[in-house]
């Protein structure tokens, strides 16, 4: 399945971070939605077309891992990229078991986020990442 404009859902309880990431990704041709926690992300996924989920590990109500596990019950193919300031081997293994596409260490580098988002979209949807990923 090919997509024209990928919809990304950025989920983080830090409003400034999620809005900065949204503002950086939108000009690259992505439709960027935002959520303040895992439960809000699940609500958005139920009513919106979302092609990729970027989410923080430590959030109120549901952690990033708990959210990924629930998302995979809704759509097993939806790529999820987990972000955390405390990435270690245990978290990486739990993320792998939860079927996360990737785990990023915070603070994130924008070019790295863009590269991994493009890689996930290409691998999952055969999305031609030329414009967004070359900037």
The partner residues of 103 in beta bridges, in order of sequence, read 82
- Contact criterion met (CB below 8 Å) for 6 and 121: yes
Beta-bridge mates of residue 105: 84
Q: How confident is the model at residue 129 (pLDDT cuts 50, 70, 90)?
A: low
Query: What is the pLDDT, as a whole number, of residue 4?
Result: 78
Q: What CATH architecture is 7-134?
A: 3-Layer(aba) Sandwich (3.40)
Phi, psi of 44 (to 5 degrees): -65, -40
- Look up the pTM and report it: 0.93
Q: How confident is the model at residue 127 (pLDDT cuts 50, 70, 90)?
A: confident
Nearest 5°: phi and psi at 41?
A: -60, -45
């Amino acid at each position: 399945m090919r997509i024209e404009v990928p919809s990304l859902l950025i989920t983080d309880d830090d409003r400034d971070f999620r809005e900065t990431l949204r503002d950086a990704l939108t000009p690259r041709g992505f439709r960027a939605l935002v959520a303040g926690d895992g439960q809000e992300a699940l609500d958005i996924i139920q009513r919106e077309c979302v092609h990729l989920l970027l989410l923080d590990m430590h959030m109120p109500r549901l952690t990033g891992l708990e959210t990924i596990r629930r998302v995979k019950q809704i759509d097993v193919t939806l790529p999820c990229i987990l972000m955390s300031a405390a990435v270690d081997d245990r978290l990486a293994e739990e993320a792998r078991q939860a079927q996360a596409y990737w785990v990023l260490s915070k603070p994130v580098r924008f070019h790295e986020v863009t590269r991994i988002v493009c890689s996930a979209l290409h691998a999952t949807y055969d999305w031609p990442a030329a414009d967004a990923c070359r900037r």
